Structure 1
Amino acid sequence: MNAPLDDIDRIMSVMERAFPAEFGEAWNRRQVIEALLVGNCRYGLIGADGDDQIPSGQDTAGFFMSRVVLDEEELLLFAIVPEHRRKGLGHQLLSRFLETAKQSGMSRVFLEMRKGNPAAILYAAHGFIQIGTRPSYYRTPDGNRIDAISQELSF
């Protein structure tokens, strides 16, 4: 999926504000563009009002980016900026993502997140279950290691 440059700007704006730097989870602009150019990735945006059509000048509250392989989809990135959390926007965006995956014929969706990620509550509310752990997958700047938790949702 080729994204307009203003959508790339929106994704990067959310990424810079939503991902804590100490975990190194955020992608850089080049990684986002290259992933979207491959053709098996898709993304979605959500505005502060919950709409997916965000007028120029309006703040983008969140985004997702995913990758499709055959009949499975992996949620690569999912973020809501801190000032728009706890307003239902994460649930709304995740619901949109999952509904589109299901309508597209996906049999299941995967995601991976760091252990202790507060988004675990959101994913559990939508039916994701833990299927594995990658020990010491994430590294913090101080050298500590954090496990990655693999989750899936089957349709």
Structure 2
Amino acid sequence: MSEFRLATARVADLAAVMRVMDAAFDPAFGEAWSRAQLLTLFALPSARVCLAWDGEQPCGFSAARIAGPESELLLLAVDPAWRGRGIGAALISDWQAWGRGEGAEDYFLEMRADNDAVHLYERSGFSECGRRKDYYRGGDGMIRDAITMRHSSGTGLTR
């Protein structure tokens, strides 16, 4: 197994992020973001894109934003050729470390309810805290629920 490294992505890395996006997201679900959508994140001081590299190959990324004591994972993707190597878990840990540094105590994400990534998030300490019925309409014509997951590292009140 080769080593990978994580680094904050810059606008110049947009093509690398899009390569991972195209490989990781099945078009049937309609979850991938466009280049224009991703580009907006680079302009926001409250957002961060982290890119995982295996040598010179981009193999995963996360995109998150922060608002006060909360941080939201907007996207997490690992190229299928690199799955099962701990990259997803490393990206989650990196997101939470960044969030802590920015004052976050609560971490949220939303995903398609039938996404196998739910197991990764559960292993990382997330649990379902909400559900949106019939939220996602995929390119395959199917309508799917969305689940919201939360992980709290703060000492404040639980919700």
TM-score (structure 2 length as normaliser) = 0.86
Counterpart residue number, 1:7: 13
Gaps of 5+ in 1: 50-57
Counterpart residue number, 1:18: 24
Superposed counterparts of 1:1-155, under 5 Å: 4-48=10-54, 58-155=56-153
Deviation at 1:93, TM superposition (A): 1.6
Deviation at 1:8, TM superposition (A): 1.1
Gaps of 5+ in 2: 1-7, 154-159
Deviations for 1:104-126, whole angstroms, at most 9, x for unmatched residues? 22010110000111111110011
Cα-Cα RMSD: 1.6
Deviation at 1:61, TM superposition (A): 0.7
Moved over 3 A (4+): 2-5
- Identical amino acids, percent of aligned pairs: 37
Q: Tell me if the contact between 2:51 and 2:62 (Cα under 8 Å) persists in the aligned partners.
A: yes
Deviation at 1:89, TM superposition (A): 1.3
**Aligned equivalents of 2:100 and 2:109: distance in 1?**
15
Which sits farther off after the overlay, 134-143 or 106-115?
A: 134-143
**Aligned equivalents of 1:72 and 1:108: distance in 2?**
5
Letter in 2 for 1:146: R
**Aligned equivalents of 2:37 and 2:25: distance in 1?**
15
Aligned residues between the structures: 146
**Aligned equivalents of 1:77 and 1:139: distance in 2?**
17
Counterpart residue number, 2:157: none
